[in-house]
Structure 1
Amino acid sequence: MTETLHRLAIGIEYDGSGFRGWQTQKEARTLQAQVEKALSRVADEPIGVTCAGRTDAGVHATGQIIHFDTRAVRDPRAWLLGGNSHLSPELSFQWVRPMPDDFHARFSARWRRYRYIFLNRLTRPAILRRRVTWIHRPLDAALMAKAVPHLLGEHDFSSFRAKGCQARTPIRTVQEVSVHRRGDFIHLDIRANAFLHHMVRNIAGVLMAIGRGEYPPEWIAEVLTARDRSQAGITAPPDGLYLVQVGYEDRFDLNPPAVVPEYA
């Protein structure tokens, strides 16, 4: 053990279906609590972690990134294999890297990328239960794809913001967004500088209504302009949502490729 604190970053993937979200809560099974407990055992000291994006209950990740400070000196293999040996099977550390002191998993992030996966077929899934959002009514992916370009750029996303969202501003910049069908699966991919609470799931809910033919693709622009959550319809389930990638400044040399679930 050394007295000098040093900062590490770790990439994590997890199946969030059995957890009450990322953030530690009293008397609730959370991802943060699992991660901190595992790392504390490897470090032989209390460890507190900060994540790039606090995912909701039931939401998954293939590209979550955390940082933490520690006095413990361990080689990367010890952090990875030792840490994983203390995690429940739904979580796995994928890589570990030393980082400069000014790196911050959340505040240094320039953008986040999510994928939302719809399974659009008559019969419910078994193997992919709680890992995709099953919609038995036919969805027109072409109509959904026509809708999403209205979201590009900087906008007030109040219509897609959860009531309990604690973000100081509803202004966000969507940098990339697309919808594609692959067989029975429809993928919504979206990248933005940051996201509001339930933002992707509320966008997915609007797209579901458009895909069912209840509204034209232009309706999403009307919802956006209204800046009123009550205009946006349902919040889509968490099952199909994945945090797949986080981007940072080049100077941190920390831009691992996206690990994007396909399920098709």
Structure 2
Amino acid sequence: MSDEVEPGYVRVRLDLSYDGKDFSGWAKQREGQRTVQGEIEAAIRTVTRSKRTYELTVAGRTDAGVHARGQVAHVDLPAEVWAEHEDKLLRRLAGRLSHDVRVWKVAEAPAGFNARFSAIWRRYAYRVVDHPAGVDPLLRGHVLWHDWPLDVDAMNEASRALVGEHDFAAYCKRREGATTIRTLQRLSWERDASGVITATVRADAFCHNMVRSLVGAMLFVGDGHRPVEWPGQVLAAGVRDSAVHVVRPHGLTLEEVGYPADSELAARNLAARNKRTLPGAGGCC
């Protein structure tokens, strides 16, 4: 599938962040639902005085309530619109957008760049505290309270079995025609001096609810309700386990998206569109 920019258009990369609390996720939905995509597209249309809406493509479509610190998107603008507004676009978007969403950088994208398909990894953080008194009020919108003491060492031990390329069907909400094979590059836990426990979750891509399901499983290990072998057993079974809870979205933040060197963008763009199978799994859909 070709992803060449139409003649007369310029592909523009946007680096952005948002607090997901009051958004119904990234993707545009029915009228009346406030979304990050809808808000930024409307702002671009307004500040460029355009009659049409230019659609954004995003690196990772976050769910309702999920935050982003290092989100990346692209938009194809007519060359004349870009030429007229390039130097002023960032400041004008700052004046137009609500305070819970910010675009930090706008720049012409290198050849072959696609915010979604050129990415080679996405890194999320999930933050949780197990203090018996609850969450610091100043952090409550970004940190989950778990009301059982958590053993971080046990959670790290359990996490190791899930790293690598696997079919994560047991930890994903299935979507018709979509694969659940992913390469989980990192899943680790660390408690800081203030008591906040942060899960770092990095993969080439994620399927729906994958991060929050993985976190839910690990919390059950951390509080002693399940043995360290259990998350790996769930993965191997390949089916949803009713004991795996999808934790609440507010503790989750998309921290960073990684891309290859400019010379490798186009090749990655094409490769990422191929539907994956595991070695020895045959050529099934």
TM-score with structure 2 setting the length = 0.83
Shift of 1:119: 1.9
Cross-structure match for 1:43:
48
Quick one: which amino acid aligns to residue 155 of structure 1?
H
- For the 8 Å contact 2:234–2:241, the answer to whether it is kept is no
Q: What is residue 261 of structure 1 aligned with on the other side?
A: none
**Conservation of the 8 A alpha-carbon contact between 1:61 and 1:243:** yes
1:116-155 → structure 2 map (5 Å cutoff) = 116-125=126-135, 126-155=137-166
Alpha-carbon distance, 1:233 to partner? 1.6
Residue 96 of structure 1 deviates from its aligned partner by: 1.5
Q: State which of 90, 93, 103 in structure 1 corresponds to 2:100.
A: 90
Q: 1:207 aligns with which of 188, 207, 218?
A: 218
Q: 1:253 to 1:16 in 2, by over 3 A?
A: farther
Q: State which of 36, 45, 59 in structure 1 corresponds to 2:66.
A: 59
- RMSD between aligned residues: 1.8
SS in 2 for 1:109: coil
Distance in 2, matches of 1:82 and 1:166, equals 40
Q: 2:75 aligns with which of 65, 68, 77?
A: 68
* Alpha-carbon distance change, 252 to 67 in structure 1, aligned in 2, over 3 angstroms: farther
SS at match of 1:47: coil
Do the aligned partners of residues 252 and 94 (structure 1) sit closer, same or farther apart at CA in structure 2, a change above 3 Å counting?
Answer: farther
Equivalence for 1:259:
none
Partner of 1:258: none
Secondary structure of the residue that 1:204 maps to in structure 2? helix
CA distance, structure 1, for counterparts of residue 95 and residue 250 of structure 2: 26
Alpha carbons of structure 1 residues 253 and 243: separation in structure 2 relative to 1, 3 Å: farther
1:232 deviates by: 4.8
For 2:15, the equivalent position in structure 1 comes to 11
| Structure 1 Cα separation of the partners of residues 63 and 263 of structure 2 | 27
1:66-111 CA distances to partner (integer Å, 9 max, x unpaired)?
0001121246552211112111110001112211353111011111
Is the partner of 2:173 in helix, strand or coil? Answer: coil
Deviates more, 1:122-131 or 1:111-120: 122-131
Match of 2:268 in 1: none
Does residue 175 in structure 1 map to residue 185 in structure 2? yes
Aligned partners of 1:5 and 1:69 also within 8 Å = yes
Q: What is the aligned counterpart of 2:25 among 21, 43, 46?
A: 21
What amino acid maps onto 1:233 in structure 2? V
Contact 2:40–2:97 (8 Å) recurs in 1? yes
**Structure 1 residues 252, 190: closer, same or farther in 2, change over 3 A?**
farther
For structure 2, the 5+ residue unaligned runs are: 1-6, 266-285
- Answering whether residue 124 of structure 2 is matched by residue 114 of structure 1, we say yes
Structure of higher CA gyration radius? 2
2: distance between equivalents of 1:67 and 1:196? 21
Alpha-carbon shift at residue 49 of structure 1 (Å): 0.6
**TM score, norm. by length of structure 1:** 0.90
- Please tell me whether the aligned partners of residues 48 and 85 of structure 2 are also in contact (alpha carbons under 8 angstroms): no
CA positional deviation for 1:207: 0.8
The more displaced of 11-20 and 122-131 is 122-131
Aligned residues: 251
